Amino acid sequence: MERWEDHVAVVTGASSGMGAAIFESLALAGFIVIGLARRVNLIQDIIDKQKPDVASRMHAHYCDVRLPESVDTAFEYINSSFGGIDVLINNAGIIRTGNLIDMNLTDIHDTIQTNLFGYIYWSRKAAASLIERNATGHIIQINSVTGFYVPRNVGFSVNAYPISKFGLTALKDVLAEELNLIGNRNIKVTVSVF
């Protein structure tokens, strides 16, 4: 518990589901934790349910992970208010219905921009922040079994979703290799699969 006191964790997609649960758990474990999403009011509701000492470590901030400018703005807030990122939980993800062959192209763009580009943008921020401070930290990519195989015979198509999630499997290895190339042993990159 003491180990993480004053350490800064960032959770993308903290307004619902797994991200909301991780946001809360990290605060309970002693982290200063910044929850990001578009529905900031839902993140604030989670904060308002906590005991005051836990709530005081929790912060809600707007970010649309599809947009690099939105990531820049949220990162500048985190960097100037809390001094950087020690732990990143890349979690914000979406799935859309339809067949890749003929579904609305906007839904394909949204899926890949959220699930893949969003992870890339935030990984770059966390890596830069850790490297510039020579800090010990962790970048965690919440992936899916569909990052390793495409489900067959389930009666519907998961369209662009596994395409984005396969990308995350490579993203983790690329980051680890780039850290290896610069001799950085302080940053761990892992992937969680559900």
Ligand X SMILES: NC(=O)c1ccc[n+]([C@@H]2O[C@H](COP(=O)([O-])OP(=O)(O)OC[C@H]3O[C@@H](n4cnc5c(N)ncnc54)[C@H](OP(=O)(O)O)[C@@H]3O)[C@@H](O)[C@H]2O)c1
Q: Which of 104, 145, 177, 190 binds ligand NAG (CB under 6 A)?
A: 104
Backbone conformation region of residue 89, classed left if phi is above 0, alpha if psi is from -120 to 50, else beta? beta
Phi, psi angles (nearest 5°) of residue 133: -100, 0
Q: Which of ligand NAG, ligand X, none is residue 106 near (CB under 5 to 8 Å by kind)?
A: ligand NAG
Phi, psi angles (nearest 5°) of residue 34: -110, 120
Task: Determine if 180 is a binding residue for ligand NAG (CB under 6 A).
Answer: no
Contact 58, 182 (CB under 8 A): no
The two structure tokens encoding residue 138: 């962790």
Size of the residue set binding ligand NAG (CB under 6 A): 8
Task: Determine if 84 is a binding residue for ligand X (CB under 6 A).
Answer: no
Is 119 part of the annotated catalytic residue set?
A: no
The two structure tokens encoding residue 42: 């839902």
Task: Determine if 92 is a binding residue for ligand X (CB under 6 A).
Answer: yes
Q: Which of 5/148 has CB closer to ligand X?
A: 148
Q: How far apart are CA 78 and CA 143, in angstroms?
A: 24
Task: Determine if 172 is a binding residue for ligand X (CB under 6 A).
Answer: no
Task: Determine if 25 is a binding residue for ligand NAG (CB under 6 A).
Answer: no
Q: Which of ligand X, ligand NAG, none is residue 139 near (CB under 5 to 8 Å by kind)?
A: none
Task: Write down the catalytic residue from 62, 77, 149, 161.
Answer: 161
